[in-house]
């Protein structure tokens, strides 16, 4: 098979928090504070397990746990409080091992890639800055779509921004919600352990392959069919 | 079978952080800060996966990841920095759902129970205070034994303090290290998801049964053979 110049390219659609940036645990504790602030008591591990969902679904999923109603006012306060709390944790946030190298390698390979996150641009922006992204990389944040993960809209928009069909893209994410969104979009997906989920959880959610973190994915790019375009 | 008065009792040996107290994620971020402070860069999820080990093994396990040597001085600074950082996070720490009720029920049932934690008394003390423990409950902390989890010493000492053989005890813990220590001691073990590990990880480490948190265990005490002593 000739996969050289002019052949179909595989695009990579990255989640951000827990996939490229080591920020999941800080987000988890920021949500814990925000929830307690509006009188909702949810243990931390349950918040962890819902991270990566859209804010609206996230709030609804947590409320299912506690059985309380939530008004639009409270939903807005939750978002604001989470953003404020996360700002306090932000100083400890770092890129994940290999994240910058992986993105550079993909760029060098001329493999198209994009970022698609359920986060809002205000929160995601400084995290993206840590990665030193090159010009022209499509960044799809919460504001760009009607429904965030586990709906497939973010990944569909990211594929579109790369000029690719979703079937020609591989989603890389750390959460069950990334992988479910990928399946709904009919994209293959790679799970990373760096968000703190277990291998089993990621495989059951449909991961085609599971690696530790971006550095581990970089070492195994050949396993997922990513190679230099000749 | 007559299991009434005079029959052999089952004792329960509880881990503390992640099992009775919702403190794992705060410990994780406190370790992250302490490690960075001594120049060791480890992603947060890997710290999470080592939590619950003895401090010495924990440091060694993380250093295996980064390949750096560690001096006794640095090990001491790590402990101190972790303790200081955790003190800043402590305000957000709460008992896990059902923890207080579960302990009260066991006491009402006259089921002997104890706490066995890899943490030091200085760090564990205020967490124990959140539970409002009754007088006379054995609390085994790091200082009481030569080797902490995944060595079985803490659980063996706790069984001993209850006047029971370890075979008559059930260990309840949230981490793989609790469950491995229980197996090495030949105790049955119950895994709780409340520390943020997945069901699969806990089962593979030998959990006899897995529940969400203390509230869920309380609802299923009959499944593990705990009932009121007549």
Residue positions counted in chain B: 230
Interface with chain B: mutation pick from A25, A205, A215, highest number of B CBs within 10 Å = A25
Could you give the CA distance from residue B34 to residue B86 in angstroms, rounded to a whole number?
A: 10
Q: How many CB atoms lie within 10 A of CB A36?
A: 14
Q: What pLDDT is recorded for position B71?
A: 80
Distance from CA of A97 to the nearest CA of B (A): 7
Q: Are A226 and A212 in contact (CB under 8 A)?
A: no
CB contact under 8 A, A29 and B29: yes
pLDDT band at residue A28 under the 50/70/90 scheme: very high
Question: How confident is the model at residue A51, as a pLDDT?
Answer: 85
Query: Rounded to whole angstroms, what are the CA distances from A184 to A81, A163, A170, A172, B86?
Result: 31, 19, 13, 14, 41
* Residue A3, pLDDT above cutoff 90: no
Q: Which CATH number fits domain A11-22+94-224: 3.40.50.740, 3.40.50.300, 3.40.50.1000, 3.40.30.10?
A: 3.40.50.1000
Which region holds residue B57: left if phi is over 0, alpha if psi is between -120 and 50, else beta? alpha
Give residue B137's pLDDT.
95
User: Are A201 and B198 in contact (CB < 8 Å)?
Assistant: yes
Q: CA–CA separation, B139 vs B219, rounded Å?
A: 25
Contact (Cβ atoms closer than 8 angstroms) between residue A14 and residue A20: yes
Does A177 or A120 have the greater pLDDT score?
A: A177
In this prediction, residue A134 carries a pLDDT of 86
Inform me whether the pLDDT recorded for A214 exceeds 50: yes
Nearest CA in chain B to A98: B43
pLDDT at A66 over 90: no
- The per-residue pLDDT for B3 is 46
Contact across the interface for A200 and B196, Cβ inside 8 Å? no
Q: B196 contacts in A (CB within 8 Å)?
A: 44-45, 48, 196
Query: What confidence score (pLDDT) does residue B52 get?
Result: 78
CA nearest to B55, candidates B37, B70, B39: B70
ipTM for this prediction:
0.90
What residues have CB less than 8 Å from B73, skipping those under 6 apart? none
A157/A152 Cα distance (integer angstroms): 9
Counting one residue from chain A and one from chain B, the pairs whose CB atoms sit within 8 A come to 77
Is B213 close to A29, i.e. CB distance below 8 A? no
pLDDT of A110 reads: 93
Architecture of domain A25-92: Orthogonal Bundle (1.10)
Helix residue spans in chain B (DSSP H): 24-37, 44-50, 55-66, 72-89, 99-108, 121-131, 153-161, 176-185, 199-204, 214-219
For A36-97, the three-class secondary structure string (H helix, E strand, C coil) is HHCCCCCCHHHHHHHCCCCHHHHHHHHHHHHCCCCCHHHHHHHHHHHHHHHHHHHHHCEECC
d(CA A135, CA A112): 13
Contacts of A228 (CB under 8 A, 6+ apart): A108, A109, A110
The secondary structure element, H or E, covering residue B120 is: none
B198·A198 Cβ contact <8 A:
yes
The confidence score (pLDDT) of residue A1 equals 44
Residue in A45, A193, A200 nearest the CB of B194:
A45
Contact A48/B92, CB-based, under 8 Å? no
Q: How many residues does chain A have?
A: 230
B interface residues, A as partner, C-beta within 8 Å:
18, 22, 24-26, 28-29, 32-33, 36, 41, 43-45, 48, 89, 92, 94, 96-97, 193-201, 213
- The residues of A whose Cβ lies within 8 A of any Cβ of B are 18, 22, 24-26, 28-29, 32-33, 36, 41, 43-45, 48, 89, 92, 94, 96-97, 193-201, 213
Chain B: nearest CA to A34, how far in angstroms? 11
CB contact under 8 A, A198 and B194: no
Q: In which band, very low, low, confident or very high, does the pLDDT at A230 lie, cut at 50, 70 and 90?
A: low
Q: What is the per-residue pLDDT for B6?
A: 53
Cβ <8 Å between B29 and A92: yes
CA-nearest residue of chain A to B34?
A92
Q: For Cα atoms B139, B144, B147, give the angle at the middle one, nearest 5 degrees.
A: 120
Q: Nearest 5°: phi and psi at B78?
A: -55, -50
pLDDT digits (tens, 9 = 90+) for A82-100: 999 999 999 999 999 999 9
pLDDT band at A7 (very low <50, low <70, confident <90, very high): low
Write out chain B residues lying below 8 Å of A201, CB-based. Answer: 198, 200
Distance CA B158, CA B144 (A): 10
Which residues are A140's β-sheet partners? A116
Q: DSSP for B53-67, please give it.
A: S-HHHHHHHHHHHHT
A43/B22 CB distance under 8 A: yes
Return per-residue pLDDT of chain B as tens, 230 residues.
Answer: 444 445 678 999 999 999 999 999 999 999 999 999 988 889 999 999 988 777 777 777 877 777 777 788 888 898 899 999 999 999 999 999 999 999 999 999 999 999 999 888 888 889 899 999 988 999 999 999 998 888 999 999 999 999 999 999 999 999 999 999 999 999 999 999 999 999 999 999 999 999 999 999 999 999 988 888 76
Cβ <8 Å between A25 and B22 = no
How many angstroms away from the CA of B88 is the closest CA of chain A?
12
**pLDDT average, residue stretch A126-136:** 90
- Nearest-Cα residue of chain B relative to residue A201: B198
Distance of alpha carbon A45 from alpha carbon A117, whole angstroms: 21
**Domain regions of chain B by residue span:** 11-22+94-224, 25-92
């Amino acid at each position: 098979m000739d996969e050289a110049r002019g052949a179909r390219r595989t695009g990579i659609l990255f989640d951000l928090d827990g996939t490229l940036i080591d920020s999941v645990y800080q987000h988890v504790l920021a949500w814990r504070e925000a929830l307690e602030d509006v009188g909702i008591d949810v243990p931390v591990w349950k918040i962890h397990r819902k991270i990566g969902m859209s804010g609206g679904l996230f709030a609804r999923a947590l409320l299912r746990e506690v059985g309380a109603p939530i008004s639009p006012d409270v939903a807005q306060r939750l978002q604001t409080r989470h953003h404020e709390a996360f700002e306090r944790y932000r100083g400890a946030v770092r890129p994940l091992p290999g994240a910058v190298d992986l993105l550079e390698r993909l760029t060098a390979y001329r493999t198209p890639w994009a970022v698609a996150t359920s986060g809002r641009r205000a929160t995601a922006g400084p995290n993206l800055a840590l990665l030193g992204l090159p010009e022209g990389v499509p960044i799809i944040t919460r504001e760009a779509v009607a429904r965030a993960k586990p709906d497939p809209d973010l990944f569909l928009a990211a594929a579109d921004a790369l000029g690719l069909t979703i079937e020609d893209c591989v989603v890389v994410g750390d959460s069950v919600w990334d992988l479910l969104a990928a399946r709904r979009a009919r994209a293959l997906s790679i799970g990373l352990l760096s968000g703190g989920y277990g291998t089993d959880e990621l495989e059951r959610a449909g991961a085609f392959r599971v690696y530790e973190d971006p550095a581990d994915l970089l070492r195994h790019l050949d396993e997922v069919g990513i190679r230099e375009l000749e």
